[in-house]
């Protein structure tokens, strides 16, 4: 029995043990397949973050306002004085216009009743007589062949003696006799004054007041005024002026509103004006003067 037991023990498989590892000479048992990993749960997509609102651009800092220099006492006094003078002149013009309108009405009524033209129309008719003339004479008397000489001879032909005055002297007389006005629709026969129609003193500046005069011949319904004057090169001719549209040479329909009264030159300073309406200064009704009474012995 003992030998059989020993034989059995000798044939039994040996087991080798290593630290941390056990192996056996017996056939290895079949390894179990690895367990399937659980599928990851779907993660809900997070909403995309909204773009941050653009910050408004910072407003520029306001520029510091320069403090206006307070006018001096002398300047304030002068400004008040000028304002009072302007108001007085405006009132004088209004009174003068009213007086002139009354005189015109009375004179017109008298002339119409007598079947004759008004005093202003008589002057305009006398002025038209000299259109195209190369000399200015009346009752055997010669007059200067320039703009003021033309005004003098036209009034002389109508029966008025202006004393051979130049443009500046005519202006002074109109002021002295209270005949000067600035109505934008002058009267037929009025003398019209202009500034800066040429560089009279030759200094290249716009400082030539009362450099030209003309006579009103007629006035259209739209305010266009026909003037007669002695020009610089064309002799005695007609030109037009519209004081309701002084900056426009022509109307939208093409009608001439303002003639070119000053010739253009490359030497003209900036801001030079050329049209009749731009250069206009004022008017004078010499034919309505009590000191210059018209007579009936005018030249025919």
pLDDT tens-digit profile, the chain (300 residues): 555 655 565 555 555 555 554 544 444 445 555 555 555 666 555 666 666 666 666 767 676 666 667 778 888 888 888 888 888 888 888 887 787 777 767 665 655 544 456 889 999 999 999 999 999 999 999 999 999 999 999 999 999 999 889 999 999 999 999 999 999 999 999 999 999 999 999 899 999 999 999 999 999 999 999 999 998 888 999 999 999 999 999 999 999 999 999 999 888 999 999 999 999 999 999 998 867 755 554 454
CA distances from 85 to 52, 82, 89 (A): 67, 5, 6
Structural domains for the chain: 118-288 (3.90.1720)
pLDDT at residue 42, rounded to an integer: 61
Q: How far apart are CA 145 and CA 132, in angstroms?
A: 12
Q: Of 269, 274, 271, which is closest to residue 258 (Cα–Cα)?
A: 274
Q: How many CA atoms lie within 13 A of 71 on its CB side?
A: 8
Residue identified by tokens 């055997």 is 140
CA distances from 184 to 55, 97, 175, 243, 282 (A): 60, 12, 18, 5, 9
DSSP code of residue 244: T
CA distances from 119 to 125, 228, 236, 287 (A): 10, 17, 21, 6
pLDDT at residue 297, rounded to an integer: 47
């Amino acid at each position: 029995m003992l030998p059989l037991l020993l034989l059995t023990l000798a044939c039994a498989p040996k087991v080798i043990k290593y630290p941390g590892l056990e192996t056996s000479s017996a056939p290895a048992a079949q390894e179990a397949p690895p367990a399937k990993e659980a599928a990851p749960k779907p993660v809900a997509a997070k909403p995309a973050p909204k773009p941050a609102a653009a910050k408004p651009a910072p407003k520029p800092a306001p520029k510091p306002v320069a403090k206006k220099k307070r006018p001096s006492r002398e300047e304030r006094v002068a400004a008040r004085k000028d304002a009072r003078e302007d108001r007085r002149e405006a009132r004088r013009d209004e009174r003068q216009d009213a007086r002139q309108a009354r005189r015109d009405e009375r004179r017109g009524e008298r002339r119409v009743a007598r079947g004759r033209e008004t005093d202003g129309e008589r002057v305009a008719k006398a002025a038209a007589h000299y259109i195209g003339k190369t000399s200015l004479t009346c009752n055997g008397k010669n007059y200067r062949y320039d703009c003021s000489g033309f005004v003098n001879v036209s009034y002389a032909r109508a029966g008025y003696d202006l004393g051979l005055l130049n443009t500046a002297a005519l202006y002074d007389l109109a002021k002295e006799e209270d005949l000067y006005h600035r109505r934008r629709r002058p009267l037929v026969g009025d003398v019209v004054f202009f500034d800066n129609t040429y560089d009279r003193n030759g200094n290249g500046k716009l400082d030539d007041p009362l450099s030209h005069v003309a006579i009103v011949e007629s006035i259209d319904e739209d305010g266009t005024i026909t003037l007669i004057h002695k020009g610089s090169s064309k002799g005695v001719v007609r030109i037009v002026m519209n004081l309701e549209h002084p900056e426009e040479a022509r109307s939208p329909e093409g009608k001439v509103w303002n003639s070119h009264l000053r010739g253009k030159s490359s030497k003209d300073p900036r801001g030079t004006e050329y049209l009749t309406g731009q250069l206009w200064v004022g008017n004078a009704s010499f034919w309505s003067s009590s000191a210059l009474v018209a007579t009936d012995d005018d030249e025919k």
